[in-house]
A and B are shown apart, each in its own frame.
Chain A
Amino acid sequence: EAQVTQNPRYLITVTGKKLTVTCSQNMNHEYMSWYRQDPGLGLRQIYYSMNVEVTDKGDVPEGYKVSRKEKRNFPLILESPSPNQTSLYFCASRRWGQGEETQYFGPGTRLLVL
């Protein structure tokens, strides 16, 4: 089954404790992206990657890091989480190229930073 998986699905942590949220897709997609969703703000893009070793900042990259060492994985790293990073996070992927528009989303990771 074609899917995007994220782990963990729920996470409670404390300020300053480094964490990683994993994202994996099994569709051989070139493009992967991270979003955060906050009430009233919709989804805002954090980082995206157009292929292995190619990453770029989205609209709200501060406080986050990503890496793309393999095509299927795109982890999101919070080196020193703060309470304002409490949010619902989504990973997404799609093919890269004209006409390859449908973006597939993971189930989400709900993060609470105390």
Chain B
Amino acid sequence: SQQGEEDPQALSIQEGENATMNCSYKTSINNLQWYRQNSGRGLVHLILIRSNEREKHSGRLRVTLDTSKKSSSLLITASRAADTASYFCATKNNAGNMLTFGGGTRLMVKP
């Protein structure tokens, strides 16, 4: 079953603007991860936030987690054309044996 649902499904912005993507999930989690996928290629791990954390930063990425609302957001600041990709949230269950992905947000950054 699909655990995470990303919103929006597609986002188009100009270079230099910030991009925000949201993820909602259904069951309790151990952690939530964000991945990036360039067209038709393998996913690349971006950042992880644990269930007891509220916010995390990595370079131009900022992730928040609200376990009471079962939601997370990924903010990419000062976007670049090279950020154009699909972004997926994935939740790890408490047993640690499964990672469940959402449907993804397709981000297009126009130069």
Contact = CB atoms under 8 A, between A and B. Distances in A.
A binds B: yes
Interface of A: 4, 33, 35, 40-45, 48, 50, 56, 58-59, 88, 90, 92, 98, 101-108, 110
B82 interface: no
Given A105-B43, A107-B41, A44 B101 contact: yes
A43 B45 contact: no
What is the interface of chain A mostly: helix, strand, loop, or mixed? Answer: strand
A90 B41 CA distance: 9
Interface string B1-38: 11010000000000000000000000000010100000
Closest 5 CB pairs of A and B: A105-B42, A43-B101, A42-B103, A42-B101, A105-B43
Contacts, number: 56
Contacts of B101: 35, 42-44
A45 B2 contact: no
12 contacts: A41-B103, A42-B88, A42-B101, A42-B104, A44-B101, A45-B99, A58-B98, A90-B43, A92-B43, A98-B96, A101-B33, A102-B48
B64 interface: no
A49 B99 CA distance: 12
Contacts of B4: 42
A101 B4 CA distance: 18
